[in-house]
Amino acid sequence: MAPYSLAVEETMRTFSASLREKDRRRYAAVEAAKLGRGGLAYIARLLHLAPRTVRQGLQELRQPPDLPPERCRKKGVAANAR
């Protein structure tokens, strides 16, 4: 039996497909870690990723980057919009 309902699995696939490659790896890794034993294989199948990709995401989560993540918005844009 799958740990998630079909509706939740579809939502997870849709969300994953909307992410950039690096974020997709990390999202898959977080989901696999939540499930524990067998989670990596399940999430890889569910999100159509290679197990190696999920393992890479797990490794990336264990070793956060030295630099802050790139910004989504430019500084000061909200202040100028008023």
pTM > 0.85 = no
pLDDT single digits (tens) 13-55: 999 999 999 999 999 999 999 999 999 999 999 999 999 999 9
Q: Give the total number of structural domains in the chain.
A: 1
pLDDT at res. 2 = 81
Mean pLDDT within 2-18: 94
Which residue range is the domain that position 45 belongs to? 20-62
C-alpha span between 14 and 59 (Å, rounded)? 24
C-alpha span between 29 and 61 (Å, rounded)? 8
Could you tell me the CA-to-CA distances from 44 to 28, 58, 74, 78 in Å, in that order? 7, 12, 34, 39
Longest dimension (CA), the chain: 52
Q: Is there a domain that residue 33 lies in?
A: yes
Q: Is there a domain that residue 13 lies in?
A: no
Q: Is there a domain that residue 51 lies in?
A: yes
